[in-house]
Chains A and B, each alone.
Chain A
Amino acid sequence: MTRASPRRVPRLYPPPRWPLARTRDRARDPDQALLRRIACDEEAAFRTLYERWYGKLSRFTTSRLGQRAYAEECTQEIFLRIWRSAGSYDPGKASPTTWIYTIARNAVIDQLRSRSRPLLDQRDPAWVPSSSQQPCDEELVQREIAAKVRAAVQQLPSAQAEVLTKSYFYHLTSREIAEESGIPVGTVKSRTRLAMERLRRALRWEQS
């Protein structure tokens, strides 16, 4: 059950309370700086973030929802969610891009279905916590793994990264990717397979 509130969700900002080490490698990330300012209700920062992200999010919602009008409505909803929850963004847990992406994904799912995505909630009596005793240690490990993931993705050849983006971000089928990119369906499939294989090797992911 939700309760109406005239105020936005409580802010973590300002001032940021994250240890410097956790944020150092993302300190130069412009989106992180923008989110910090948005958390302080800076409309100018929100405008900049909007300009930086509108294209990607608009294409994302259009590809997932189909109709332009619904997609535009959902894109607006995503930006509203970013504005309202920027204060809860924790750079120790995810990059700004990943955080914005999860907001966009959930907004699209909410738009597509009458029933929301199933809840994962740490307050659930059945929740099994991570075995790590120290939350800080766990975050450090997560940060290292996240850096490794990003490095593996950055090293993918452009053609392979493109098919993965179209498949997992825009949710296009192999046929749609082939038509859009002007390549045979077989090439799309082989690029996807090669890209996933590279990521599996780099990150020791298990086989599908």
Chain B
Amino acid sequence: MSPTHHLPQGWIMAWASGTLPPAHEILAATHLTLCPHCRARVAQAEEAIGALIERETCDVEPPEGALDALLARLDEPVAVATPELDGTTDPSGILPLPLAQLTGPFHEIRWRWVAPKVKGIKLDVPTIGLPLRLIKIRAGHRLPIHDHDGPERAIVLRGGWRDQTGHYRRGDACFVSEDMQGHEQVMDDDTDCIAIVLNDTPIKARNSILRLAASILKV
């Protein structure tokens, strides 16, 4: 089934122009693998940039000898354009390729405790805020009500959740703005929820005991 919650148009334009930061690119690539609708939007954005280029005039002259140097390289041996995927995909099909290349197959992931009924791993991708995380939350679990100081972007990979903004299932992009207060997420009952999540700033639990515990445990 295709996702129903999509990437914002700004992300589509940034993906098409190649200007998304690395962690955002992983999120976008994960969604795009699962979402034919957004792939079509990317194709439109690329076509729009192509049409803009056609309107552009630019009369920069190449340095002397540049074309001859290039022509001399035309018959150089090259690597095959399409790389082999063996060993880099996730056989379970849960993790799209952009993630599987970072984590390895899903069943080999060594999950770490994050909070009660929540496990996760950090992904080795540069970010400006908190690390990009793959998280697993127990089916049916209700996360403590929390506030956001910065934006949160998540892509659901298995299971799903409901919050004030909607119901999110596999492939859906759940983007929460920085002014979201009282965020309340309840996981679906059918299976443990798997998602990738990127926060710029830590979320703040409303419950003061949980907040204290989070600051001590640095989660």
- Chain A interfacial positions (CB closer than 8 Å to B): 1-9, 43, 46-47, 50, 54-56, 58-59, 72, 76, 79-80, 83-85, 88, 93-95, 97-99, 101-102, 105-106, 108-109, 113, 115, 117-121, 123-131, 142, 145-146, 149-150, 152-154, 158, 161, 164-165, 168-169, 171, 196, 199-200, 203, 205-208
Q: How far is the CA of A7 from the CA of B80 in the complex (A)?
A: 9
Q: How far is the CA of A161 from the CA of B101 in the complex (A)?
A: 38
Supposing A124-B97, A149-B44 touch, asked if A3 and B25 sit within 8 A by C-beta, the answer is no
**Which of B9, B44, B55, B90 lies in contact with A161, CB distance below 8 A?**
B55
Is B116 among interface residues, defined by CB-CB distance under 8 A?
no
Is B182 among interface residues, defined by CB-CB distance under 8 A?
no
Interfacial chain B residues near A109, Cβ < 8 Å: 18
Q: How far is the CA of A164 from the CA of B55 in the complex (A)?
A: 11
Interfacial chain B residues near A55, Cβ < 8 Å: 58-61
The reply to whether B74 and A59 contact each other, CB–CB distance below 8 Å, is no
- Chain B interfacial positions (CB closer than 8 Å to A): 2, 6, 8-10, 13, 16-19, 22, 25-26, 28-30, 32-36, 39-41, 43-44, 46-56, 58-63, 66-67, 69-71, 73-74, 76-86, 89-98, 100-101, 171
Q: How far is the CA of A69 from the CA of B142 in the complex (A)?
A: 55
The reply to whether A108 and B55 contact each other, CB–CB distance below 8 Å, is no
Interfacial chain B residues near A8, Cβ < 8 Å: 78
Q: How far is the CA of A8 from the CA of B100 in the complex (A)?
A: 29
